[in-house]
């Protein structure tokens, strides 16, 4: 069964990288492309549909509901990753809210890895 892994970031740092990445900045893009490299040996679960995620992984970054200074990166399969931006974002937020609410349900608690600040 694929495993759901979420990445935790410093919110300001990830916002600072996300913008140039959308504008095609090579270094910022490389950062996002290599985010999931450490998990290549694993079967990563798509955050939205539970399908096994294929490499290169699509990432969606959303604010952490539990901590305003953090942001969470979720892996998406190819199909979910190519959804329209707003659909993708609102589905991701809906899942995050449900997860936040159901924090006590053991099965719904994903494995969150903190990404240390670069520099």
Interior/surface letters 24-58, b for 16+ CB within 10 angstroms, e for the rest: eeeebeebbeebbeebeeeebbbbbeebebeeebb
* Matching residue, tokens 């939205």: 48
Q: Which stretch binds Zn ion (CB under 5 A): 6-14, 57-65, 69-77, 87-95?
A: 69-77
Select the residue interacting with Zn ion from 5, 7, 44, 48 (CB under 5 A).
48
Under the criterion CB under 5 A, does residue 49 sit at the interface with Zn ion? yes
d(CA 19, CA 37): 21
Q: Are 62 and 74 in contact (CB under 8 A)?
A: yes
Of residues 77-116, those binding Zn ion (CB under 5 A) = 77, 80
Residue 17 vs 32, nearer CB to Zn ion: 32
Under the criterion CB under 5 A, does residue 57 sit at the interface with Zn ion? no
Select the residue interacting with Zn ion from 46, 61, 72, 74 (CB under 5 A).
46
Number of neighbours of residue 14 by Cβ within 10 angstroms? 24
Residue 45 Cβ vs Zn ion, minimum distance, rounded to whole Å: 9
Which residues of this chain interact with Zn ion, rule CB under 5 A? 46, 48-49, 51, 77, 80
């Amino acid at each position: 069964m694929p495993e759901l892994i979420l990445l935790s970031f410093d919110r300001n740092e990830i916002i600072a990288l996300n913008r140039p990445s959308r504008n095609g900045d090579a270094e910022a893009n490389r950062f996002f492309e290599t985010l999931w490299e450490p998990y290549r040996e694993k079967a990563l679960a798509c955050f939205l549909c539970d399908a096994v995620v294929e490499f290169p992984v699509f990432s969606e970054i959303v604010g952490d509901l539990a901590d305003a200074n953090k942001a969470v990166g979720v892996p998406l399969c190819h199909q979910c990753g190519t959804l329209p931006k707003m659909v993708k974002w609102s589905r991701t937020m809906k899942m995050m809210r449900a997860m936040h609410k159901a924090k006590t349900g053991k099965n719904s608690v994903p494995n969150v890895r903190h990404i240390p600040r670069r520099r």
